[in-house]
Every structure is written in C-alpha cells, then in structure tokens.
C-alpha cells in the first residue's frame, strides 16, 4: 500500500494547497518511519508466527492510540500555518492508519499491547492491489487537474506521480 499513502498526501494537498507537500508526504509515512526506528531498536518487527500468519509486531507504531497522539503532535508542528493546515496534517497521519487497517492482517492494536487487534485483510486483501491502483490513478488525476488551475500547486505533480510509481513497483517486488 505504499503508493496509496502518497496518494492520500496528494488528495490532501488538493484539499488544502497551502499545506506544504513535504509535510503531507512525511505525515502520511510517519507511522512507518516510527516502525523503521523501532525495528532498528529491536522493539518491533515480524511476529514470531510470521511464517504461518504473516502478522507484524507493531504494537507501538501502528496502534490507534499512537496514531491519534502522533497525528496531534505532528499537526501541532504546523500551528503557525493555521488550523486548516493542522487539520490536513493530522489527516495525513491518520490516513496511513486508515489505509493500513484495510489491508493488514489483524495486527494493528487499539492501544499498545491491547488485546483488540484490527486488520481487514480477509475482507479487502485479495482486491487491495487493484483498489490501490485505482486510488493512486484517481488521486494523481485530481491533483494534476488542480495543479493546472492553482498556481500554488506548482508543476511537480509529475515528479510525485513518478515517486508513487516507484514505491508502487517496490511494493509489488517486496510483497
Ligand atoms: Zn504502515
């Protein structure tokens, strides 16, 4: 679902052109940045039963509570840019959780080490590849159309599209 996270950032940029693109992209990837750091520290990683269940050990980086707190803290960094920008920054962080919960096996906890684990892989897993493609294409078209009429969008949508394509390809290779 990696290109899908960038697609969320593009849609949010369209909704709030004043929000910096780098902030939206970083926000949309924030949970995985946290995951990477925690893997490096040996706190998170693959679960012991990865071979049979493909569950990740992500109690801290991907819990709903962490997402809400991180989203709030991240949004607060943009306080000087106004409430609307703060809102889309929070949405960028939360969008990651929202997309992940659709495709993860039940390994996303309500709060760190909660017994309630979320993940709708069984429902959406088989179609998520196609759904992501559609989501990315639609987001890119919306963004490109808005970029034509709004000077604040700039013309870097093609670069963003290329970046998403790279991550999308990487996702297929890795997955
Ligand atoms: Zn994630």
**Contact (Cβ atoms closer than 8 angstroms) between residue 169 and residue 2:** no
Which residues are CB-contacts of 96 (< 8 A; sequence separation ≥ 6)? 5, 8, 27, 28, 29, 30, 31, 32, 67
CA 102–ligand 1 middle distance (angstroms): 11
Q: Which pLDDT score is estimated for 73? A: 98
pTM of the predicted protein model: 0.83
Print burial letters for 9-32: b (CB count within 10 Å at least 16), e (below 16). bbbbbbebeebebebbbbbbbbbb
Q: Which pLDDT score is estimated for 150? A: 61
CA 121–ligand 1 middle distance (angstroms): 14
Which residues are CB-contacts of 154 (< 8 A; sequence separation ≥ 6)? 147
Closest by CA to 140, choosing from 8, 29, 26, 27, is 8
CA 62–ligand 1 middle distance (angstroms): 7
Q: Where are the domains of the chain?
A: 2-174
CA 79–ligand 1 middle distance (angstroms): 25
Per-residue pLDDT of the chain (175 residues; tens, 9 = 90+): 578 888 889 889 988 989 998 999 999 999 999 999 999 999 999 888 777 788 889 999 999 999 999 999 999 999 999 999 999 999 999 999 999 998 899 999 999 999 999 998 888 888 887 888 788 788 878 887 777 666 555 556 666 666 777 766 666 555 4
């Amino acid at each position: 679902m990696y290109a899908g996270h960038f697609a969320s950032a593009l849609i949010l940029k369209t909704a709030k052109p004043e929000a910096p693109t780098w902030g939206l992209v970083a926000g949309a990837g924030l949970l995985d940045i946290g995951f990477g750091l925690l893997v490096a520290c040996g706190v998170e990683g693959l679960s012991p039963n990865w071979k049979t269940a493909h569950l990740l050990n992500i109690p801290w980086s991907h819990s709903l509570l962490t997402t809400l707190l991180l989203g709030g803290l991240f949004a607060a960094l943009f306080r000087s840019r106004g409430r609307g920008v703060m809102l889309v920054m929070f949405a960028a962080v939360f969008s990651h959780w929202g997309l992940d919960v659709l495709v993860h096996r039940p390994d996303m906890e309500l709060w760190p080490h909660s017994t309630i684990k979320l993940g709708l892989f069984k429902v959406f897993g088989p179609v998520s590849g196609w759904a992501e493609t559609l989501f990315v294409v639609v987001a890119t078209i919306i963004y490109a159309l808005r970029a034509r009429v709004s000077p604040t969008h700039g013309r870097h949508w093609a670069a963003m599209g290329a970046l998403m394509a790279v991550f999308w390809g990487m996702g297929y290779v890795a997955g």
